[in-house]
Each structure stands twice: as C-alpha cells, then as structure tokens.
Amino acid sequence: MLNLSDGVKKALILIPTQALPANTRVALRRKHLARLELAKADRANFLIIGHPKSGNTWLKVMISRLYQLRYNLPESKLINTDEFARKIPEIPRLAATNGYYSYEGEVGKLLACGAPDNSLRHKPVLFLARNPIDIAVSWFHQFTKRQSRAKQELINHFVEHPIDRRTVQMWDFVRYSDIGLPSLIDYQNTWVRNVRELEHGMLSRYEDLREKPVPTLLKITQLMGEDFSEEEIRAAVEWGSFDNLQKLETSGTFSQGGMKLVNPNDPSTFKVRRGKVGGYREDFNAEQVAELEALVRDNILPELGYCQDSAGACV
C-alpha cells in the first residue's frame, strides 16, 4: 500500500477536478477534502484551531524548530500535518484547521458545544485567538493576494455573498463582507465556548505569544504532552522572531505550505507581513478605528480581553 503524505493526497483531489464545471468541482472537492480533513484530525496527536491570520503558521514554525533542533532536521522543512512523523514516529502528528470554512467545518462540528462524544473531543485541542480587527486586516491581504484559487473558490461557495478579490476594498472587506469583522467576532466567541467543554481544551492568544513567547509556547508544548526545556523553547522562539522569519521567507528558504514565497516584489503578499499587535490602526482613519473597536467591545466575550480596557484600549 502506498504511504502518501497528506499534501500529496490533497493534490490528488485538487488536480483531477480542475477542469470540471465550477459547481461540480466545488462539490467534489468539498466532499473529498472533508474526508481528508477528518482523517488528518483523527490521526493527529494535537489539534490547533485558529482562523487564518491568527498566528497558526507562526506557531507551527516554532514547533517545527523544536523538532528540527532535537532531531537534526533541515530548517527548510516545516510541520504541516505528518511531514515529520512519517519519518520519525516519535514526533507527533499535528492537525491545524480553522474548523469553519467549507470542508474544514466538518472538524468544527465534532468539536462544537453539545456535539456527540467522539475521539476528537478527547485529544489536546488548542484554540489560538487574536484581536479580530488585526485578523480582519491580515485576512484581507491573505484573501486578495495570497489565497490559492482553489481555497478561495471553496470559501466563496460557502458564504452567501461571494467576494471578488480583484475589486474589494479593505474597508468593505473588513467591515461588511461575510468573512469580515462581524463574522470573526462570532467565530472567536464560538471557539472559546467550544474549548471550554473539551477534556483537554486550551485557549491561548496571539498577543500572549508576542508578549510572553517563552512561557506561552512552553505551556502549549505541555498541552501536547512534550517535555521541552526552557532553553529549547527559547531557541525556537528566537528562530521564530519576526525579523528572522521575514529574512528566511524573502530568501526563499521555505519550499512548502504557508511560508512559501509568493511574490518577492510585493511585501503585502508576504506571509510574515507585519506581525504587529494593533497594526490595524495604521490602515484606517480615527473614525473607522472607533467604529471597529466599538463593534468588538460590544460583542466579544470578555474573557478574550479585546477592547475591554476601561481606558478604551483595544488589545
């Protein structure tokens, strides 16, 4: 029996369906990608849930570095799902998903509040949250300049009002689109509630990874059941710093997955684009910022901490 990687299995779904009519192509891809997504989650030792642009790739890069150093693996290779585990069984399998859009929602259904008992509910599950306004701005750049056509098509068939990435403007995307800020707030609230009910569920925030990277990453690896030392954690954090990752990305070090260089001449297409907490304030005027922050303040769960400061700070 062929032992194919998850990446090859995905390609074997996408490539043969490319020439089909759109509706047929989307239906078949959604069906078979959902099966693959569920199989990956079922085999995984650790699940990461996070909306695109919440820091999922950054976290996987730091986790990858821990195993690169421990097992002398090349720095150009990163964990997406089973890349390391297929060669070294001692390295856990990961499954990272948004648990919401299109086929990825099948995993979300099994982890949702009130879902029937199943094997995924007993695995270590991390929900990685981030200020939804920061997500929305980065999500705009991802969706319009970096997202694969296949993934974008699946998302556009998932939402009620498809988005034309060639014409949509940032403000309209962030404030009014079906995958903009109101949806992102609902998404974060939903997953906070979901992880509360899980046997080994944990909430972590992108902002905590930025402010306190060593203790936050250490806590995440402990959830995974691993025993990395503080020295190992610190080395992974240093390697995963913004400046170093941007240098590695722009030099073409990474040949796979989310860190692969798309357009070296357009910084807005970089995966490591800005990585700044509260960076959205540089993209909108004061009135727009106030409107977005009020939307978060009035609707986000307080335990996430976004825009709850008595002084009005939205961090």
Confidence bin at 250 (pLDDT 50/70/90)? confident
Is it the case that residue 254 has pLDDT exceeding 80?
no
Copy the structure tokens of residue 283: 């993209």
pLDDT level of residue 253 (50, 70, 90 thresholds): low
Count of domains observed in the chain: 1
Per the domain annotation, does 228 fall within a domain? yes
User: Residue 297 domain-assigned?
Assistant: yes
For residue 270, give every residue at least 6 positions away whose Cβ sits within 8 Å of its Cβ, in sequence order, or none.
246, 249, 250, 261, 262
Give dist(CA 86, CA 93) in Å, integer. Answer: 9
Note the helical H segments in the chain: 6-17, 22-43, 56-71, 105-111, 132-145, 149-158, 170-176, 181-196, 206-211, 213-224, 230-239, 242-250, 286-299
Instruction: Give CA–CA dist 127/136, Å, rounded.
Output: 17
Residue 311 belongs to some domain of the structure: no
Q: What is the pLDDT of residue 310?
A: 46
Domain assignment of residue 223, given as a range: 6-302
Residue 86: predicted pLDDT? 86
CA contacts within 13 A on the Cβ side of 84: 28
pLDDT tens for 12-24 read 999 999 999 999 9
Lowest mean per-residue pLDDT among 150-154, 228-232, 261-265, 294-298: 261-265
* Summary count for the chain: helices (H), strands (E): 13, 4
Long-range contacts of 210-216, Cβ-Cβ distance < 8 Å, separation of 24 or more: 210/275, 210/277, 211/277, 213/237, 213/240
Q: Among all chains, which residue has been given the structure tokens 């991390």?
A: 126
Whether residue 309 is contained in a domain is answered as no
pLDDT band at 265 (very low <50, low <70, confident <90, very high): low
312, part of any domain: no
What is the percentage of the chain residues whose pLDDT exceeds 70? 89
**Residue 188, token pair as written in the block:** 């974060």
Beta partners for residue 48, in sequence order: 96, 126
Mean pLDDT confidence for 30-46:
97
CATH code (residue 211): 3.40.50.300
pLDDT of residue 188: 98
Tell me, yes or no, whether 314 lies in a domain.
no
244 found inside a domain: yes
Q: Tokens 């906070």 belong to which residue?
A: 192
Domain assignment of residue 267, yes or no: yes
> What tens digit of pLDDT does each residue of 72-111 get?
998 878 887 778 888 899 999 999 999 999 999 999 999 9
